[in-house]
Amino acid sequence: MEVQIISKEILKPSSSTPHHLRNYKLSVLDQLAPPIYIPIILFYSPSSEYFCEKSDHLKKSFSKTLTHFYPFAGQIKDDFSIDCNDDGAAFIEARVDAGDISMVLEQADINQLQQLLPFSPYGKSSKRSTDQVMLAAQVNYFNCGGLAISICIWHAVADASTLATFANSWAAISSGSNNISNEVIFDGTTLFPPQDLSSFSLHNFVKEDELREIVMRRFLFDGSKVAALRAEVGNGQYLDRPTRFEAVSALILGAMMAITGENEATRINTATVAVDLRRRMKPQLPQQSIGNFCQVTIANWPESESNVLNYNRLAGKLHESITKMNNDYIRKLHAGGGYFNFLQKAGEEARKGPNLRVFGFSSWCKFPFYEADFGWGKPIWSSPVLKLNRVAIFLDTKDGKGIDAWIGLSKEDMIKFEKNPSILTYASFSPSM
């Protein structure tokens, strides 16, 4: 696949940001976001519209969308705020020489897909760089008439839910809708006050050189397989009816325990889950609110259970860790900077030695990426394009019943993982689109 850049522009909001909105405050959850971009690619079937028509239309709607999401067109001012100065966001267009778009979708190779992004999602070494680009989009035109729109948003101002909100708002404006939520800006500092992070660093969270040795592969759990898996995992004393996420996550954890069980130093005994807090607060936060309103919860199990595979027990542990994230717990955890102190201690422990016993989950399920209709139909496929070690990123399948799981492992672990009997039973490795 050859991707040729045909234009690069910085597009400003179509209307200037009022002076009283120029200072956007960062919450502690924004401050603690990993120094990476959150990326998504939305693929669309070939249409009869000409390139010039789509290009002009997408640029105008992009500028209009920035007026609602004005922090994305600004610059980081300091550790605590963004200067919403209307500098603009990057808009790139490219032609893709890859035959039919279906050929790219059938391969679903992350190294190839990353060519469709406006830049590497791993950013710079520090998220406090004042020249950090907040937002960039790349529109990729395939020879067959198909289209792939990729969006990268700097994690300090957005989580995956925010990414979906922006994509759908841009699509809605592009298709002529005026029904755009006015609740996208919410002051998260009232609930999650910022902290002095001068003694805390996330610059080692991602080392792009090390990621070259990581294999990120797609595993499809279709709706019928997920239903069967939920029935199997729910057969036990710890959890009657696991969710799709809990069932598939328990299966993946079981496979990881099996392939790492021989080595006590690397044996998986902890799982982290990124939990969306918007619907867990009282009163609930607007689902469309931008920023980071998710935080990590931890599930672990005793060392004595590390060699005992019990999917129901694993799902129960995940369920327990997620359900504890209620309004009272969250508010108490953040009182007096408690969450920051917790992460600081965890970071100190991690620096003492290799932190290889943890597996992370980030679920983007129920985020409406498949609703993003720019005027020529909804996406035929959506994909995150992020490579991380010992992490699984979940998206819904297009029908909303299955799970598309992107899993990152070392080459050695991936070979073993793909041969795991349970993974072979429930997952498809090279699914047709």
Amino acid symbol at 240: D
Q: What is the pLDDT of residue 125?
A: 41
Do 402 and 345 lie in one domain? The reply is yes
186, 287: one domain = no
Query: Residue 335 maps to which CATH number?
Result: 3.30.559.10
Give the CA angle between residues 173, 177, 180 to the nearest 5°. Answer: 75
Per-residue model confidence (pLDDT) at position 117: 97
Do 75 and 179 lie in one domain? The reply is yes
State whether 142 and 280 are in the same domain. no
Weakest-pLDDT range from 28-42, 96-110, 274-288: 96-110
Q: Are residues 178 and 225 in the same domain?
A: no
Q: What is the pLDDT of residue 433?
A: 41
Which residues span the domain enclosing 375?
213-426
Contact predicate 77/22, CB 8 Å: no
Which tens digit of pLDDT belongs to each residue from 64-73? 999 999 999 9
Task: Find, among 197, 194, 116, 123, the residue nearest to 154 by Cα.
Answer: 123
Q: How far is C-alpha 311 from the geometric centre of its chain's CA atoms?
A: 25
Examine the residue annotation and report whether 155 is marked as an active-site residue of this protein: yes
Q: Looking at the domain assignment, is residue 84 inside a domain?
A: yes
Same structural domain, 231 and 369: yes
Q: Is residue 289 part of a domain?
A: yes
Q: What is the pLDDT, as a whole number, of residue 429?
A: 81
pLDDT of residue 129 exceeding 60, the answer is no
Q: pLDDT-based confidence at 211, cuts 50/70/90?
A: confident
> Which of 133, 158, 190 lies at the terminal end of a domain, its last residue?
190
Residue where a domain stops, chosen among 128, 157, 190:
190
Same domain, 358 and 263: yes
* Co-location of 186 and 223 in the same domain: no
Q: pLDDT tier at 340 (50, 70, 90 boundaries)?
A: confident
State residue 110 phi and psi, 5-degree precision.
Answer: -65, -35
Q: Is residue 218 part of a domain?
A: yes
Note whether residue 200 is domain-resident: no
Percent of the chain with pLDDT over 90: 68
Our count of domains for the chain comes to: 2
Task: Please report whether residue 324 resides in a domain.
Answer: yes
Q: Are residues 179 and 285 in the same domain?
A: no
Lowest mean pLDDT among 187-196, 259-268, 344-353, 400-409: 344-353
Give the Å distances, CA to CA, from 422 to 57, 215, 263, 360, 427.
Answer: 47, 20, 21, 19, 8
Other beta carbons within 10 angstroms of residue 92's beta carbon come to: 18
Domain boundary pick from 156, 175, 190: 190
CA distances for 119 relative to 61, 90, 122, 206, angstroms: 22, 10, 9, 16
* 234 and 339, same domain (yes or no): yes
Instruction: Please tell me which residue, 212 or 121, carries the higher pLDDT value.
Output: 121
In a domain, 201, yes or no: no
Q: Is residue 376 one of the residues assigned to a domain?
A: yes
Nearest residue to 215 via CA among 430, 16, 413, 426:
413
Q: What is the pTM of this model?
A: 0.93
User: Is 177 a member of any domain?
Assistant: yes
Do strands 358-363 and 270-276 pair parallel, antiparallel, or not at all (unpaired)? parallel
Residues 294 and 374 in one domain: yes
Please, which residues have CB within 8 angstroms of residue 110's CB and are 6 or more apart in sequence?
216, 217, 218, 385, 387, 406
Length of the chain: 433
The Cα–Cα gap between 236 and 310 comes to 9
Catalytic residue among 79, 87, 109, 373: 373
Indicate whether 374 and 252 sit together in one domain.
yes
Catalytic residue (one of 155, 319, 334, 413): 155
- The residue ranking higher by pLDDT, 409 or 197, is 409
> Is residue 276 annotated as a catalytic residue, yes or no?
no
For 376-405, how does the pLDDT look when each residue is reduced to its tens digit (9 = 90+)?
A: 899 999 999 999 999 999 999 999 999 999
